[in-house]
Structure 1
Amino acid sequence: MSTVRVGPMRRGGAVTADSGMNYAALGATSRPDVVPFPPSGFHAAEYRHRIGSGARRFDLAGRALMTWGALRHAGFQVDEVRAEPVSQSPRGAGPLFLEDGTPWITPGMTARLASDDPAAVTGRVKVLTTLDEPGRIGYVFGTMTGSTEVSERFLLVEHGEDDAVHVILRSLWEAPSSRLGRLARAADARQRKLDERIVRALHPSFSVG
């Protein structure tokens, strides 16, 4: 079955270092070796969840992913979405939109996240990199100054040679002080639970409750 593009697709791009971020290891989650070798003071993890098979499932999941669907389905409020102006775009392309006006995630885009979950990030995030290749689409986003969390996530939808469609999430977050003991372990557990919820959020049967 041929792939039906249901949203605007483009080659990936990246933004340059930005002083508005609240951490220095920008783009670290785009590298698989960040999991065994995270930057000093950070923890990292990777999750992989199958959400179906076939080109149609890949296209629908890719469209949802690139319009903030994984985060919204996981219980986040996503608002104040702002695309980077054409004059500042690394590829000079500016913002992209679906037919109904929904903004498509592009490098430099920012948004405000909010959630009732105390473990979830609240505050502005910025898209650092996007990826659009045959069978792979996704983006890296990180937290900005003023956010309640110091973290970065790489979210990817992948259509494999076996026709399976997976969501992959690679995350990096500031490690709680080891002096906090039990509280530090609890904070890590909450972070991992949140990431597991995000990576499952594009499955057709997923429910936040």
Structure 2
Amino acid sequence: MTTGPRRRTAVHAPEMGLNYTAIGATASPEVVAFPPPGFRAAELRHRIGSGERRFDLAGRALMTWGALRGAGFDVAEIHAEPRAVSPRGTGPLFLEDGTPWITPGMTATISGAHEVAGPVKVVSVIDEPGRIGYVYGSRPGSPACAERLLLLEHEPDDAVWLTVRSIWQQAGRSWSVAARALDARQRRLDERLVKSLHPSNAA
């Protein structure tokens, strides 16, 4: 695979600075059936094509915030963790054009729908043969407590799939009418994310 800078295994951010305690919960598929207390959970999966080139192009987009941007959100104020380690033992990674590659501990601010926007931090990165992605979580100042796994997989049958697995909870409030609205917005975001890297959505 030639998706870009590679890691062998998941690497976890050393300092969280998040607004929820169920850190890393989305790494397990079981979280959908057994979410942390007070959280909702969901998983969506979408085929975005087939072949090594599709995996490569989608992986580059995914690891430079392309899924969120493709879903209609702005991603700004991106800051890499200075201690992030590349496969070469160096600092933060960049693509050939200087675009920063997502690394553990990276922070950013997502703007768009109020209930699903706000400051976020990358919890972990997965970079293995045929699998690439990351987990990001909400930081203090976000209107919700949320975590998402975005995982791209190149299957043995040559199909390329994007999985979005998420948990969310309204920050500081019980489930109410407003919280149910958040529930609907979070699910719509997941739906947009799983379709965002499909070739038909390319600019």
Could you state the TM-score of these two structures normalised by the residue count of structure 1? 0.88
2:32 to 30, 35, 38: 35
Shift of 1:194: 1.3
What one-letter code is carried by the residue in structure 2 that aligns with 1:82? H
Q: Distance in 1 between matches of 2:157 and 2:54?
A: 14
Shift of 1:6: 4.3
Shift of 1:89: 5.3
1:17-62 CA-to-partner distances (Å, cap 9, x unmatched) read 52x2100011110011111000001000000000000010001000
Q: Secondary structure at the match of 1:141?
A: strand
Q: Secondary structure at the match of 1:50?
A: strand
Q: Superposed, which structure 2 residues align to 1:131-170 within 5 Å?
A: 131-170=126-165
Cα pair distance change 1:95/1:207, threshold 3 Å: closer
What one-letter code is carried by the residue in structure 2 that aligns with 1:203? H
Q: Distance in 1 between matches of 2:159 and 2:12?
A: 28
What one-letter code is carried by the residue in structure 2 that aligns with 1:130? V
Q: Distance in 2 between matches of 1:40 and 1:17?
A: 23
Shift of 1:70: 0.2
Q: Secondary structure at the match of 1:61?
A: helix
Cα pair distance change 1:184/1:21, threshold 3 Å: closer
Identical amino acids, percent of aligned pairs: 60
Give the conservation status (yes or no) of the 8 Å contact 2:5–2:86: no
Shift of 1:207: 7.4
Shift of 1:199: 1.2
Q: Distance in 2 between matches of 1:59 and 1:67?
A: 13
What one-letter code is carried by the residue in structure 1 that aligns with 2:102? I
Q: Distance in 2 between matches of 1:90 and 1:69?
A: 20
Give the conservation status (yes or no) of the 8 Å contact 1:15–1:90: no
* 189-198 or 50-59: bigger deviation: 189-198
* 132-141 or 93-102: bigger deviation: 93-102
Match of 1:197 in 2: 192
Q: Secondary structure at the match of 1:205?
A: helix
Match of 2:73 in 1: 76
Q: Distance in 2 between matches of 1:74 and 1:26?
A: 24
Cα pair distance change 1:189/1:60, threshold 3 Å: same
Cα pair distance change 1:131/1:184, threshold 3 Å: same
Could you state the TM-score of these two structures normalised by the residue count of structure 2? 0.90
Q: Distance in 2 between matches of 1:90 and 1:53?
A: 28
Match of 1:120 in 2: 116
Q: Secondary structure at the match of 1:196?
A: helix
Give the conservation status (yes or no) of the 8 Å contact 2:86–2:93: no
Cα pair distance change 1:184/1:146, threshold 3 Å: closer
Cα pair distance change 1:188/1:37, threshold 3 Å: same
5+ residue gaps, structure 2, are none
Q: Superposed, which structure 2 residues align to 1:163-178 within 5 Å?
A: 163-174=158-169, 177-178=174-175
